[in-house]
Amino acid sequence: MILFTFTLKINIWIIFGTSFWLGFFMTGYLPVGFELASEITYPICEGTSCGLLNTSAQIFGLIFTYSQGRIIYAYGSLAGNIFILVFLFIGTIITGLVKSDFRRQNSLKTKKSKTTDKLNVIAPVNNVYHVDGSESEKF
């Protein structure tokens, strides 16, 4: 975004190139954001958290697009892009401060360990049991 901000007065093809790379690298944050949202809001369904994330992204997109348009109209394109750049930086800091509490993964790990413990108690892997309750040789 910094590169894009300072290439606005150069050739249009350089702007196209920086726009391509900006979109290429920023698109990769979408699945990461959805996964993080589903992890930190675990008891809630993934669809609900991702839907709320999409809705908030659309609302903030409208607000920032309108605000940037007003800033560009009043102060120029450099000021508008610096406005977006500042808020991207603030968002990066907030993302870095999010507590990585992976509730869904921890829940799945405890479920797997409990299931494995139950299976070992019912029928240990190295013993074979017959219908009458007698035990065969170990493998």
Q: What is the pLDDT of residues 47-76, one digit of tens each?
A: 888 888 889 989 999 999 999 999 999 998
CA dihedral 101, 103, 104, 105 (to 10 degrees): 60
pLDDT band at 137 (very low <50, low <70, confident <90, very high): low
| Whole-model pTM over 0.85 | no
DSSP 50: H
Decide if pLDDT at 126 tops 60. Answer: no
Could you give the CA distance from residue 134 to residue 139 in angstroms, rounded to a whole number? 15
Helix and strand tally (H, E) in the chain?
A: 6, 0
Q: What is the pLDDT of residues 19-30, one digit of tens each?
A: 888 888 878 878
What residues are paired with 129 via a beta bridge? 135
CA dihedral 54, 57, 63, 64 (to 10 degrees): -150
